[in-house]
Structure 1
Amino acid sequence: MRADCASCFGLCCVALPFARSPDFAADKAAGEPCTNLGTDFRCGIHGDLREQGFPGCTVFDCFGAGQKVSQITFGGKDWRKAPGTTGRMFAVFPVMRQLHELLRYLTEALSMPQARPLHGDLRRALDATERLTHQSPEALADLDVAAVRHDVGALLQRASELVRATVPGPRGKRGNRGNRGDRRGADLIGARLDGADLRGADLRGTLLIAARLRRADLRGADLLGADLRDTDLRGADLTGSLFLTQPQVTAARGDAATRLPAGLDRPAHWR
């Protein structure tokens, strides 16, 4: 579930739209190649995206959907040499990206010992989702991906609850998270939460844009879908946090004292 840009036809640079903003230096319509995309499907400013005004590109991850669509769904036929594939390929890519994101979450859930009672269901959901990714372009384009996300999301929520129930709360009492427990979907944009004890908290889909979480304790917190753009995580402890992805980390601000879960890289722009 890691992007292999060398095996992709630059799909994220063509299929997806973006608007001029602090994240993107120019407007681009869906299906229109980015002006920085080369004939080899590589980005001409990849090493200087932030300096050139494209930080939004640095936080995008297709979770391996790009190479799946390019090499498997369309059998290695690129949209430049086979223009008849263009519309279908660009329609399938966002669907595949969502399916691969779900595969990433399910794989993580299967690695959680506390979720063992659900491992059978999680394995079946993983296999079923993987089968969906091998459908024809037409079937993928027509897929009700929202329904798939709903079903998988409910299973991931159950796994999260099993894990978070074992996270020590205040004064070391397990399962006692007080009013920290459920902030799911809350609007915490710009909130000052320096040093907050958020161990085992449900922060799914929470808006934490530009929030201050310096030295906050986020061990075991569920961060699936949380918006961490410009979130100040300097000195924060995210060890063992659930469903945190590299794009979320890259979108945030941190430093050498920020502790991340295993498997996630410290962004180069963190100071």
Structure 2
Amino acid sequence: MVELADLRADCTNCFALCCVALRFDASADFAFDKPAGTPCRHLTGDLRCGVHADLRVCGFSGCAVYDCQGAGQKVSQVTLRGRDWRADPETAAELLDVYPVVRQLHEILAHLVEARQITQDPGVRTEVGDLLAHVNGLTYLGADELRLVDVPAERTQAGQLLARVSEAARRPLPSRSQRNGDLVGADLREADLRRADLRGAYLIAADLRRADLRGADLLGADLRDADVRGADLTVCLFVTQAQLHSARGDAGTRLSPQHRRPAHWVAGAP
């Protein structure tokens, strides 16, 4: 049975796939361009990041918030069977195709594991369990089969089930809904957002200081630079560690036990 602990990155068992397979463009999140399949110039000989301790200072906040959710070690040790891409050109070609697929499947798995914990309906729990087993099985396919996985279809099926779980968990549903809403820079200080539908909402640089977000659905919400100092996020639905890393919080931000307080959050009251 898949647990959240199985969906946490273990860089010691990964061949630095995120530093090789993914592309990024020079922006506020990345200091320079890097094509997919090209090792980052900061990748060291022992497959570690040479600027990991100073990612934000060096202009790599995008790397600082990135979380493979365990896909890196899965592809390295299962799909690629422990083969190092540096010594095997065929492996290097495979990881470009399969790593993004497994990464997205692991994100779906994490949400399904949470849905299994949330739902009180035995029938829905069975549906979640069946889909969880199906998606998990996909992550163990060989490289050729993984290339054929229809990730958007898998995401759509999971999304529909997660929506049902969310609606049941948030009853009575509040009248306020900002699904896919534009809340960039919005002043939401001390706002009552309990059980609100904030799926896919753009909360970039929003002021959420001391806001009450208990029970809010944050699946896919963009929290980059959102100020959550003093906010209550203890029972938010489908919020990821990467989302928290992209936000700005402090010691007063309340989190659920399964989430870790990002190291860059400043201690002290807002």
Determine the structure 2 residue equivalent to 1:138. 144
Distance in 2, Cα, partners of 1:114 & 1:218? 21
Give yes or no for the alignment of 1:102 onto 2:104.
no
Superposed displacement of residue 85, structure 1: 1.7
Determine the structure 1 residue equivalent to 2:93. 87
Q: TM-score, normalised by structure 1?
A: 0.93
Superposed displacement of residue 22, structure 1: 1.6
Letter in 1 for 2:42: N
Letter in 2 for 1:155: L
Superposed displacement of residue 116, structure 1: 4.1
Q: Is the 8 A contact 2:119 2:165 kept in 1?
A: no
Q: CA offsets, 1:133-154, max 9 Å, x none?
A: 1111011112110000000110
Give yes or no for the alignment of 1:265 onto 2:246.
no
**How many residues of Structure 1 are paired with residues of Structure 2 in the alignment?**
260
Determine the structure 1 residue equivalent to 2:69. 63
Distance in 2, Cα, partners of 1:250 & 1:198? 21
Q: TM-score, normalised by structure 2?
A: 0.94
Within 5 Å, give how 1:20-31 maps onto structure 2: 20-31=26-37
Give yes or no for the alignment of 1:77 onto 2:83.
yes
Superposed displacement of residue 20, structure 1: 1.2
Letter in 2 for 1:246: Q
Distance in 2, Cα, partners of 1:54 & 1:116? 44
Distance in 2, Cα, partners of 1:262 & 1:245? 13
Determine the structure 2 residue equivalent to 1:172. none
Determine the structure 1 residue equivalent to 2:179. 184
Give yes or no for the alignment of 1:54 onto 2:54.
no
2:200 paired residue among 189, 205, 216: 205
Q: Is the 8 A contact 1:23 1:56 kept in 2?
A: yes
Give yes or no for the alignment of 1:253 onto 2:248.
yes
Q: Do the aligned partners of residues 156 and 244 (structure 1) sit closer, same or farther apart at CA in structure 2, a change above 3 Å counting?
A: same
Q: Do the aligned partners of residues 176 and 82 (structure 1) sit closer, same or farther apart at CA in structure 2, a change above 3 Å counting?
A: closer
Q: CA offsets, 1:14-60, max 9 Å, x none?
A: 11111111211111111111001112111111111112111110100
1:229 paired residue among 220, 224, 232: 224
Distance in 2, Cα, partners of 1:25 & 1:89? 24
Determine the structure 1 residue equivalent to 2:4. none
Superposed displacement of residue 113, structure 1: 4.6
Distance in 2, Cα, partners of 1:244 & 1:55? 19
Superposed displacement of residue 114, structure 1: 3.1
Q: Is the 8 A contact 1:115 1:163 kept in 2?
A: no
Distance in 2, Cα, partners of 1:108 & 1:116? 15
Q: CA offsets, 1:213-248, max 9 Å, x none?
A: 111110000101100000011111111000111110
Give yes or no for the alignment of 1:6 onto 2:1.
no
List runs of 5+ in structure 1 lacking aligned partners: 166-174
Q: Which stretches of structure 1, 4 residues or longer, exceed 4 Å deviation after superposition?
A: none
List runs of 5+ in structure 2 lacking aligned partners: 1-6
Q: Secondary structure at the match of 1:256?
A: coil
Distance in 2, Cα, partners of 1:220 & 1:189? 21
Distance in 2, Cα, partners of 1:72 & 1:56? 27
Q: Is the 8 A contact 1:8 1:70 kept in 2?
A: yes
Root-mean-square deviation (CA), in Å?
A: 1.1
Determine the structure 1 residue equivalent to 2:159. 153
Distance in 1, Cα, partners of 2:225 & 2:192? 20
Q: CA offsets, 1:126-173, max 9 Å, x none?
A: 0000111111101111211000000011001111111111xxxxxxxx
Superposed displacement of residue 117, structure 1: 3.9
